């Protein structure tokens, strides 16, 4: 759970505020299930340089659905090959380390 999150839909400006439960998405990732988005499970290139620098292909990104926002929305979980996990509520502008 991540408390005090503000998520803004980049297309409509709709705002979601509150607590985000990442567990359903973490469970989906662990079970190898794919969210219906072409980017779910794809390589995250860390172009913004906001995560520790690692070799190309090190990170993967996964969609975190946002209540009230159509489509994939701005939330993602990014995982590293060594199991580290990060959450971004704002499409890669900021990252929160997720302890598992």
Residues known to be catalytic: 61, 91
Contact at 8 Å (CB) between 18 and 5?
Answer: yes
Ramachandran class of 80: left when φ > 0, alpha when ψ lies in -120 to 50, beta otherwise: beta
First to last CA, the chain: 11
């Amino acid at each position: 759970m991540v408390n005090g999150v503000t998520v803004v839909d980049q297309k409509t400006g709709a705002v979601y505020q509150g607590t985000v439960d990442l567990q359903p998405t973490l469970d989906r990732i662990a079970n190898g299930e794919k969210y219906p988005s072409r980017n779910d499970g794809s390589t995250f290139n860390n172009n913004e340089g906001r995560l520790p620098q690692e070799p190309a292909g090190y990170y993967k990104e996964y969609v975190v659905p946002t209540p009230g926002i159509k489509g994939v929305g701005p939330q993602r979980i990014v995982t590293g090959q060594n199991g580290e996990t990060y959450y971004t509520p704002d499409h890669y502008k900021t990252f929160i380390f997720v302890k598992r």
